[in-house]
Amino acid sequence: MNSLRRVTRVPGLWLGLCALQLGLAWCLAQPVGAAVRTAMNGRVWTHPDRLIAALAELLGQSPAIVAVFVAATVASGLLGAALALLVRGGVLLRLHDAGALGTSAWAEFGRASLGNLPVLALIGLYGVVLRLILTFVANALSGSHAVVELVVLIVLLTFATCAGDLAAARRVLHGERGVHPREYLRACVDVARSPRLWLASGALSLTRWAVAGAIILVAVHGVGEAWSSWAARGLACVAMFLALWRVAVAVEASQPRA
């Protein structure tokens, strides 16, 4: 089955995760708005295009706002990683088999998520180790040239993502004992031996990062404007779709050959 098809036949999964993501971001942004509102204390700034000057003054008076912003951003990163891990099992299962519907589908999703949590966490840990090693490799490969190093690193990181997806899919969907590092290594070797798989997964990873970059662009070019918020939300849903698609590529690759 086509990996794209695996995603499009479970629109509920995509929409549910989008809602989760949008809700999370919105909630995390509220303390920032509240901190600024409290600091403003009835004062009003009337130049929407000159917020830099206003912020320079406001942050000088209330530096705590920076702390709130940083905390919210860090929290979003951590929560994002935690939630990704939490739903990973369910996502793999739904992309593999969209058979169940309605309540039973969500129950299945929950079971798969929670049941596979420890082992997926372990695979995640292997991924962290692999990424660290790849960072050194990128450094060694590119000598002192920072730009080359960055490019090499980005390419290698897509490899780690792809290998992690494949190992997780095999473990969750086909009951392989992915707990052992050997299984993870086998996934790595398979990805290395299958450039098409790496290319497909890597392209989707890169596109998703590009979309994340586009969200920052939109946010900076439309500070304070509603269109920018809606564009950011829309792009976040696109990023979510790309992430699911990438996982579906691994699910597809994990299917036993006929």
Residue from 105, 169, 240, 251 binding other proteins (CB under 8 A): 240
Residue from 102, 147, 193, 257 binding other proteins (CB under 8 A): 147
Among positions 191-210, residues that touch other proteins (CB under 8 A) are: 208-209
How big is the chain, counted in residues?
Answer: 258
Q: What is the DSSP string of 152-206?
A: HHHHHHHHHHHHHHHHHHHHHHH---TTSHHHHHHHHHHHHH-HHHHHHHHHHHH
Is 232 a residue that touches other proteins (CB under 8 A)?
Answer: yes
Candidates 2-10, 26-34, 105-113, 192-200 — which segment interacts with other proteins by CB under 8 A?
26-34
Is 142 a residue that touches other proteins (CB under 8 A)?
Answer: no
Task: State which residue, 44 or 101, has the beta carbon closest to other proteins.
Answer: 44
Candidates 69-77, 171-179, 180-188, 189-197 — which segment interacts with other proteins by CB under 8 A?
69-77
Is 155 a residue that touches other proteins (CB under 8 A)?
Answer: no
Between CA 179 and CA 255 the distance in angstroms is 19
Tokens 């993502």 sit at which residue?
A: 161
Say how many C-beta atoms besides its own lie within 10 A of residue 57's C-beta.
Answer: 10
CA distances from 154 to 77, 113, 236 (A): 19, 29, 21
Is 170 a residue that touches other proteins (CB under 8 A)?
Answer: no
Between CA 169 and CA 144 the distance in angstroms is 37
Task: State which residue, 24 or 98, has the beta carbon closest to other proteins.
Answer: 24
Residue from 151, 189, 192, 199 binding other proteins (CB under 8 A): 151
Task: State which residue, 2 or 41, has the beta carbon closest to other proteins.
Answer: 41
Is residue 117 a contact partner of residue 89, using CB atoms and an 8 Å limit? yes
Residue from 60, 143, 175, 256 binding other proteins (CB under 8 A): 60
Task: State which residue, 147 or 177, has the beta carbon closest to other proteins.
Answer: 147
Q: What would the x/- binding string for other proteins be over residues 28 to 57, using CB under 8 A? A: xxx-xxx-xx--x-xxxxxxxxxxxxxxxx
Give the CA angle between residues 159, 164, 167 to the nearest 5°: 125
Is 217 a residue that touches other proteins (CB under 8 A)?
Answer: yes
Give CA torsion, residues 244, 245, 247, 253, to 10 deg. 160
Among positions 88-117, residues that touch other proteins (CB under 8 A) are: 88, 91
